[in-house]
Structure formats: C-alpha cells, structure tokens
Chain A
Amino acid sequence: IAGITQAPTSQILAAGRRMTLRCTQDMRHNAMYWYRQDLGLGLRLIHYSNTAGTTGKGEVPDGYSVSRANTDDFPLTLASAVPSQTSVYFCASSEQGAIDEQFFGPGTRLTVL
C-alpha cells in the first residue's frame, strides 16, 4: 500500500454504541490528524498527533478519543455515538507537522441513528 488507508469505508451505527475508526499510513509521517467533514462547514480538526506517543485536541474533540501507540496507526474512537456525529471522517498525515502538506485518506462515512 502507499499512502493512508481507512476502515471501514462506511458504517451505520446505533446511538450509544462504541465505534473505532481505523487509520494507517505507510509514509512514516510524524504527524497525523482526524477531521470531520460536514456540508457547509468544510473540514474541522478533531484530534491530532505530532509524533508517536503524543496526542492533542483539535477544534471539535468532544465525544472522540484517539491514541498513537506507533507511527503508522491513529485510531479514532467514539465512546458512545450520538446522531450529531454523523459525518464523513478523514484521516490525514504530514511529515513535519502542520507546516507541511497533509495527505488524506479516502474517508469513512459514518451514520449514527
């Protein structure tokens, strides 16, 4: 593989359920990001990680958590999904953090009912 992979491609989830969105990159980038894309709002940063072992909160972190146990993987967890978390989720990575171009994954379309 080359680039960023995300799984699942799409998911329908009942409210209250726990869900983990997976993201893996093979570019050995230091920084990784999770965004949500909503119509009319563009992309908003949920959480980020500047390097393995560290994470930080973005613009809209509530209801989400992340971990960065190694360089390649950056899973996003919804502990108890709510309908307002219905969105398209994009994972991204960059070599040197936010001063750099970010490369995006194909996205996960999540619907919470």
Chain B
Amino acid sequence: AQSVSQHNHHVILSEAASLELGCNYSYGGTVNLFWYVQYPGQHLQLLLKYFSGDPLVKGIKGFEAEFIKSKFSFNLRKPSVQWSDTAEYFCAVNAPRRYMDTGRRALTFGSGTRLQVQP
C-alpha cells in the first residue's frame, strides 16, 4: 500500500540551527509532493509543493525541499530556524489510491513531525 513516512516525530532545535525533516513515500509512479505546516492552534497551510521540473523547490519563510526520485524522498530543509517555526510539519504525497475512483488521486499524509525551536 502507498504510504508516507516521516521518520522524525519530535525535533527540538535551538534558534539558528539548521533543519532537515525526512519524508519518504512508497508509490512508484509519478507523484506530486507537498509540505504543509500547522502552527499551534491553526489550520494547515502549504509550505511548498513539487509537481515537476527543478527537484529543488523553494517555499515560504525560507523553507526548501529536494525531491530525489531514486530515493523516493522529499526532505524539508531550512538553514536557520526561528522560534516562530515551532509547529507541526506534514509531508503529503498525491498518488492514486485504491479507495478512489479509477484514475483519481488522493493526498496521503505522513504522521507529522513536531518541531520545537527553543529561543
């Protein structure tokens, strides 16, 4: 079954530290990839997305992610985190799913990574 794995469940960093959150997916075909962020008490917002082209994608707030097809990965990075980056981060993959109508795709989310940035 298609799945999305986020290996880091809880990450604690100091301000100015570099961040890399892992995301791996299991679907072998063409995929669209997303990172969403959920700040405390708020709804999910899109950080960045990859559909095609340059595998290094830049998003909002200094975040970027690299799609490595051979590794089925889409890791999220930020060179220097801030206290305001404290949030939960979700990787999501858009791929065909067995419960959808034929040819239709659905977003599958990873379990999330809680990032805590200490001042």
- Which residues of A line the B interface, CB within 8 A? 33, 35, 40-45, 48, 50, 56-59, 61, 90, 92, 97-99, 101-107
Chain B, range 79-104, C-beta contacts under 8 Å to A:
90, 94, 97, 99-101, 104
19 further A-B contacts with Cβ under 8 Å, apart from A48-B100, A99-B94, are: A35-B109, A40-B9, A42-B109, A42-B110, A43-B107, A48-B106, A50-B101, A50-B104, A56-B99, A56-B104, A59-B99, A59-B106, A90-B43, A98-B107, A101-B46, A101-B49, A102-B107, A104-B44, A107-B43
- Which residues of B line the A interface, CB within 8 A? 4, 9, 32, 34, 36, 42-46, 49, 51, 90, 94, 97, 99-101, 104-107, 109-112
Docked-complex contact B99 and A57, CB < 8 angstroms: yes
> Count the A-B residue pairs with Cβ separation under 8 angstroms: how many?
64
Docked-complex contact A104 and B110, CB < 8 angstroms: no
A90 touches which of B44, B51, B104, B111 (Cβ 8 Å): B44
Closest approach, in angstroms, between the C-beta of B76 and any C-beta of chain A? 15
